[in-house]
A and B are shown apart, each in its own frame.
Chain A
């Protein structure tokens, strides 16, 4: 095991870390934490998307929805598989953890109830995933993860395309279909903005950045996401509560509402007149949202039933 000083030097040099015996315990802990967030996020998107994909408007659309879910499960597997190589028990991580201890973004706890909401999730949540994973793919100091993400990026692109194509189509249809799309964007846009976490001025120190587990700060990732989503929504005539400003010759996206602010998860409504603190947001995240238990049960329950009946039969 390297000393802290030796390890800091390796990280600084830009070299890749390839195995646990090249790491300090602190790096291992932070790497595992980052992988768990990534694995949990991909895993939970499967039940979240599945419960909405069932409402696909055509067989082809259903096939696309199911293929996306298959991709997400494979992406989850990349993270959990690496965790296993680092000494964690994959089966325990997936099937024996309490629903509340899963570490995925709060957005997935708010039910996606229609095909329209699913395609907005593909356009916005998968864009968030694309930015976060793209950054890791680009900058991560842990070689096995960085390389494992090669194909993930191409597949996330496909999910984005499903989201964008359908959002454009629904917007062009107009009438009540477009109203439904606008309502979905109204509650899903601010949830995606929240996804990237504390603003940089409140986050004094990032161990993930120090260890080069990622390369961009929360605000940089948020700006990247906004620069993809805001112009696209404007192009397809969907309103979003953000706009572009030019400061010192660079484009910056500015939110048109207090960030963070009050969210009513049951009714999927933001109250832009009620600013809250980040402590309030973190408390909401920790308590988890409406669909957390149901989604985790969707893959945990049958696993345990199957296990139990197998043991009773002496297998």
Chain B
């Protein structure tokens, strides 16, 4: 299974609070797959992220919809810490259009 397909899948998952997807937001640090088991390294924009449960649920749910995926393991990482510089240009544009300076 190509990792590109899994990255594309997560770029369809919107952040629960802001109109930007998780990949453009830059909180997905890594995706790998072996025998249908997907490992995801992800972080949150803040340690006290109020949407953390929703994000975990959405990532799991979306990846499980990909053909051949039978399990999703999420590893929450804090290093390197997230900052606005980890956003893609598309993510920056989306948030600026929404009225958030990044």
Given A154-B19, A155-B17, A158-B17, A165:B54 Cβ within 8 A: yes
A150 to chain B, nearest CB (A): 6
Other-chain residue from A66, A150, A151, A154 in contact with B50 (beta carbon distance below 8 A): A66
- Interface of chain A residues 37 through 80 with chain B (CB within 8 A): 60-61, 63-64, 66-68
| A161 contacts the other chain (CB 8 A) | yes
| Number of interface residues, chain A, beta carbon within 8 A | 15
B59 to chain A, nearest CB (A): 14
B22 to chain A, nearest CB (A): 15
Q: Is the beta-carbon distance between B52 and A60 smaller than 8 angstroms?
A: yes
| B30 contacts the other chain (CB 8 A) | no
B residues within 8 A CB of A162?
54
- Interface of chain B residues 17 through 67 with chain A (CB within 8 A): 17-19, 48-54, 57
A residues within 8 A CB of B52?
60, 63
A residues within 8 A CB of B53?
60-61, 64, 165
| B80 contacts the other chain (CB 8 A) | no
A residues within 8 A CB of B17?
154-155, 158
Given A155-B17, A158-B16, A150:B48 Cβ within 8 A: no
Q: Is the beta-carbon distance between A161 and B48 smaller than 8 angstroms?
A: no
A residues within 8 A CB of B54?
161-162, 165
> Which range contains the number of B residues in contact with the other chain?
10 to 19
Query: How far, in whole Å, are A117 and B52 apart by their CA atoms in the complex?
Result: 22
B residues within 8 A CB of A165?
53-54, 57
B residues within 8 A CB of A61?
53
Q: Is the beta-carbon distance between A64 and B19 smaller than 8 angstroms?
A: no
Query: How far, in whole Å, are A60 and B53 apart by their CA atoms in the complex?
Result: 7
Task: With CB as the reference atom, state the residue of chain A lying closest to B50.
Answer: A67
Query: How far, in whole Å, are A67 and B57 apart by their CA atoms in the complex?
Result: 18
B residues within 8 A CB of A67?
48, 50-51
Other-chain residue from B18, B50, B57, B98 in contact with A63 (beta carbon distance below 8 A): B50
- Interface of chain A residues 218 through 274 with chain B (CB within 8 A): none
Query: How far, in whole Å, are A68 and B19 apart by their CA atoms in the complex?
Result: 18
Q: Is the beta-carbon distance between B51 and A64 smaller than 8 angstroms?
A: yes
Query: How far, in whole Å, are A61 and B53 apart by their CA atoms in the complex?
Result: 8
Given A61-B53, A68-B50, A158-B51, A150:B99 Cβ within 8 A: yes
A residues within 8 A CB of B16?
158, 161
Query: How far, in whole Å, are A150 and B19 apart by their CA atoms in the complex?
Result: 12
A137 to chain B, nearest CB (A): 13
B residues within 8 A CB of A150?
99
Query: How far, in whole Å, are A61 and B51 apart by their CA atoms in the complex?
Result: 9
Query: How far, in whole Å, are A68 and B50 apart by their CA atoms in the complex?
Result: 8
Query: How far, in whole Å, are A61 and B57 apart by their CA atoms in the complex?
Result: 13
Q: Is the beta-carbon distance between B51 and A151 smaller than 8 angstroms?
A: no
Other-chain residue from A60, A151, A155 in contact with B99 (beta carbon distance below 8 A): A151
Q: Is the beta-carbon distance between B50 and A64 smaller than 8 angstroms?
A: yes
B residues within 8 A CB of A63?
48-50, 52
Q: Beyond the given A63-B49, A154-B98, A165-B54, please list 13 additional residue pairs across the A-B interface where CB-CB is below 8 A.
A: A60-B52, A61-B53, A63-B48, A63-B50, A63-B52, A64-B51, A67-B48, A150-B99, A151-B98, A155-B17, A158-B51, A161-B54, A162-B54
Which B residues contact A (CB, under 8 angstroms)?
16-19, 48-54, 57, 98-99
Which A residues contact B (CB, under 8 angstroms)?
60-61, 63-64, 66-68, 150-151, 154-155, 158, 161-162, 165
Across the A-B interface, the 7 shortest Cβ-Cβ residue pairs: A67-B50, A64-B50, A60-B53, A63-B50, A158-B17, A63-B48, A60-B52
